Amino acid sequence: MPDGDRDAILVTGATGYIGGRLVPELLQRGWRVRCLARAPRKLEQRTWIDDPRVEVVEGDAEDLAAVTGALRGCRHAYYLIHSMMVAGDRYRQRDQRLARVFAQAAAAAGVERIIYLGGLGETGRNLSEHLASRREVEEALASSGVSLTVLRAAMIIGSGSASFEILRYLVERLPIMVTPKWVRTEAQPIAIRNVLHYLVACLDTPATRGRMLDIGGPEVRSYQEIMQIMAAALGLRRRWIVPVPVLTPRLSSWWIHLVTPLSHRIARPLAEGLRNRVVCRDNAAAELMPQELLTIREAIDRALGRTREGLIETSWSQAGPIPGDPDWAGGTCFTDERTIAVRATPEQVWRAVCRIGGGQGYYAADWLWRLRGWIDQWVGGPGLRRGRRDPEEVAFGEALDFWRVTGLERNRRIDLRAEMRLPGQALLSFSIEPTAEGARLTQTARFLPRGLAGLAYWYAVLPLHGVVFRGMLNGIRKAAESEPSAGGPVRK
């Protein structure tokens, strides 16, 4: 690592999958990092957030003045924003708009170079909308004259990545697959560690300025072959894969939605992109920035290992905006509030609360939660398969099954907002107060109905609250009271 701190670098998308892993890599190499984030609280639980070389600037990527201010004093800037996760069918237009704002801001702030991670794929009219959008972003970023380095990648294999999760769930859950023709399309996947190396190494490689470089692993395989490699890594038998020509991108996206944690809105542009062959045109990136490239099996083994050990630094589900708390005033708001005394410390109660969802479940009536998750997936919601990044820890903005953490005050309070399909808005919160005997835990469920359907929904599920919410509250109490005393080892 070089002596002393190097220049400041702006990183957009630090709350996302790639950006969240790029920041510690830059710090390790001596750079100072400035993060532009719309919701800075989403970074509070990152291990690197207390590093004195990290500065977090709150701002919206659509605000030209805010972006210009964040870029001032930075020689380099990473553009890692992608709207596909949040904007539905409008992501293409939004991506272009955000990229043009960023390019203008970079020019006004005197930035020397923009580095963008785009998508690998053939050029021409045959590009899917997803890959065509990536090309348009490249053009927009170059429009202001600031030097641009583009790294184009295909499938990125790493614990928590959207591509990896799709692949793993399809192979785990479907021993027989009737698939679209795209399973025969060739791709050149790359491990996340190799992507991060290229992103960082280009800073010290002058020959990458103004270049568009294809990055990929050492193997070119069809998606069908990649699925079989995943099956072997999981210790499963070879999958029966039957390609058919009748599955449209829309049907493919719903198929992915029902089997994997991704929603059909995110899956559709990804499924459309699978028809394009995504293979590097040359080895320029590998020659300019040499490194050991992991094979597909090596990358999958590393990702599976980190997933099993619960060492997932970032996940695709963390991306996206955090909506403000719903306006509970001015309309009917149903409330179910329950309080229980717990003979445990607030810290022990907090740990028990934070374990809800994912593999732990909801402490009671798990079959009802699974049924609700199954119904939610069938109507287009995220369902329970989204799981959670870590089995013990939670952070602001993270996804817990079909909940999103919208409020967090360690050892005192956590607020969850439902992202399931509902005829209204739902919020679930837990607050912890210390008492002479231990702690008092209050669980509050609120629902703001939308129209008659919302009213009907509330009264339909009301009889189940005694089973679900009372059972969950008692389950949390028992889990907290069974933990070792404060200061002892935490039970996994």
What CATH number should be reported for the domain holding residue 456?
3.30.530.20
pLDDT averaged over every residue in the chain = 83
Average pLDDT over residues 274-284: 86
In a domain, 147, yes or no: yes
In a domain, 1, yes or no: no
Most confident of 256-270, 338-352, 366-380, 411-425: 338-352
pLDDT over threshold 70, residue 384? yes
Which of 290, 317, 344 is at the close of a domain? 317
Higher pLDDT, 4 or 390: 390
In a domain, 38, yes or no: yes
**Whether residue 284 is found in the same domain as residue 383:** no
Specify the pLDDT at position 66.
94
Share of the chain above pLDDT 90, in %: 42
10 phi, psi to nearest 5 deg:
-90, 135
Q: Which domain holds residue 355?
A: 322-481
In a domain, 108, yes or no: yes
**Whether residue 101 is found in the same domain as residue 247:** yes
**Whether residue 364 is found in the same domain as residue 288:** no
Which of 261, 291, 317 is at the close of a domain? 317
**Whether residue 394 is found in the same domain as residue 260:** no
Specify the pLDDT at position 451.
64
Domain containing residue 286: CATH number: 3.40.50.720
Higher pLDDT, 243 or 55: 55
In a domain, 63, yes or no: yes
Specify the pLDDT at position 265.
61
Which of 284, 302, 317 is at the close of a domain? 317
In a domain, 75, yes or no: yes
Specify the pLDDT at position 77.
97
**Whether residue 289 is found in the same domain as residue 364:** no
**Whether residue 289 is found in the same domain as residue 340:** no
pLDDT over threshold 60, residue 318? no
Specify the pLDDT at position 442.
94
Please enumerate in sequence order all residues whose Cβ is within 8 A of that of 54, keeping only pairs 6 or more positions apart, or say none: 23, 27, 32, 33, 34, 35, 48
**Whether residue 251 is found in the same domain as residue 111:** yes
**Whether residue 331 is found in the same domain as residue 301:** no
Share of the chain above pLDDT 70, in %: 82
pLDDT over threshold 50, residue 269? yes
Domain count across the chain: 2
Residue 435: count of CB within 10 angstroms of its CB: 12
Most confident of 77-81, 369-373, 420-424: 77-81
pLDDT over threshold 60, residue 2? no
Model confidence band, residue 28 (pLDDT cutoffs 50, 70, 90): very high
**Whether residue 246 is found in the same domain as residue 101:** yes
Average pLDDT over residues 169-192: 84
CA distances (Å), origin 400, targets 354, 394, 406: 10, 8, 11
**Whether residue 20 is found in the same domain as residue 113:** yes
The whole-angstrom separation of Cα 21 and Cα 198 is 13
In a domain, 398, yes or no: yes
In a domain, 3, yes or no: no
Cα angle value 111/70/46 (rounded, 5°): 115
**Whether residue 310 is found in the same domain as residue 375:** no
pLDDT over threshold 80, residue 146? yes
**Whether residue 276 is found in the same domain as residue 193:** yes
